[in-house]
Structure 1
């Protein structure tokens, strides 16, 4: 089966979907309004399921070459003592690949580079019309695009999702806000990846192959709070936490700090498809970042969609297969991510924090590996 598709959204999921569709012989147009994505100045960890999806799409080798494998690290408390250590080598033995860290800008660049430039259209999609059962029309500022299939990969605030599921409440604030940045110079780190949990707060880092690192700070906060000097606020909030946190902040340019409130689809969608329109990535299952699975689930979406379109006799049956395959699984991961946040970063009651920390310290090292395998395999 071949055809034409319009992918709305040029993030990780949308680009991956476009690559997958082109690999099976489809003509694809990617519509993206932003010349630079809002999270391009951050980093990302990719688990084995995301790496395997990238391998299937033909870009896994390039991503590995640009990424830093994560073998050492774990979870700590602000004083620096360890709650749990990560055994990256054990994960690699189980899964065939380690977790890797890479700048989002580098990942976006590699995915865009796998597509011909004429497939990428700088425009904003405003609406979709599926009244014709055999064709779908996407309206943009530059006109109307027609295709056999439309992939709505336009993110957590998806305009197309709101149009298709007008009674769904849409994304809700998770209760947490995140500040993050990539250091402007290399930093000396003893570990590849760390999380540190305080009361209602988390600070973490991801090492990059070029010696730089991304750090993130997640805080319980009302939505919409912003700081005149975000980096100074981070120094005030985390300056007395263990090394290398002060070093990471000192290596950061004030203008590099990104600040986003974290939203999720707390109420699951009743379907990921509507006629010949399919939702993918955050547009379908926006989740909190506590398991590091948001992008990986979008990559899985892209591969399953392309596979279904090669094995099913019609587009309609392929989308039904995609919905059956992806909706229960991704929504289960989203629930697990929400629960992980409640027991991790969002936990603020001192007694509850103490009990959690004790439980983590007493847990066997194999328990952390099993927890990651549950979603990364």
Structure 2
């Protein structure tokens, strides 16, 4: 009988990068062979010490990568985040603690660097709660039945005096970063985008190894000439019997930094000849889209799920970084099985700022660090979590106090996959 050997978990070297990528593709059920163009594109993401691998002999059997990120919090401030991606364990080496070892190394390093939180997009729900992550934003996708939407199919231009124009990838690379920065200042849950993000979405860099086909890019310019919106979309070519068009426009991403820009872009997309369905792509669960249509029921939810997960590494820094509309104080006992930031904290907050300090006072609310992450960006409800048995009130009414402090009028949203 063969004996199981100890698997070495360590930061990969430049020479190990091809094998690491083979394991990455294998874990995500993609063809294991990595095209040279794809490999060279991924090298641009390689940061020494931030890409971990588990090795059984010379073969990489698990992958893990993190990188620097900024996360927007309530009020428009940002915190330093340790963004985690490319997490895989090969099927031959499951249930051996490899992810736990890689996660522990990475989170300890992030804590040492002074990162306030760690972030990730969870492919599977049950995995990351045990590492202190909690689902902090939700994503919704709609499919719009264009004929039912009630828009005038003779629509030709925005009603506010603005204009819609098709542009090319070079325009997007020039205008996109500024627009996204504008959006990010207003949107809790949004994350920073690198130059590589824009290059990969406009065909300069091929990250997935498949042949590049350029999408359509559309821009909204307001009546005073300012660019306030951009979107990328693709269309198919599908016709039914009797020459009836059944085409779909699928939105890859859409930035509207004003309600007028969002309205104009969605109305344009729902007015393209032959397009019968518009798929929205990843949007906020309280997106304006359905109610920008005369008949909101024309927008049918096709996906609604957790999206950005957050792991708080510094409770005080996280709670002091955001703003608060209400005024109040609460003592939180934060349980952190990972040992990175647990303890009892007194939060005093109001419109003029917040203070969060360790305390020996009796706790008002006891909660896991992952549930604090779900509350921190303003989306979850402490009252609801208490009803689910996930937080415990030590003082009657504490959950309502927390909701009054932390919940926001618009829901947090992360537009990105990473």
TM-score, normalized by the shorter chain, greater than 0.5: no
User: Bigger relative contact order, structure 1 or 2, given CA contacts below 8 A and separation 6+?
Assistant: 1
> Highest CA radius of gyration, 1 or 2?
2
Category of TM-score, reference length = shorter chain: under 0.3
Compute the TM-score of the two structures, normalised by the length of structure 1. 0.24
Compute the TM-score of the two structures, normalised by the length of structure 2. 0.22
Looking at secondary structure, tell me which structure has more helix per residue.
1
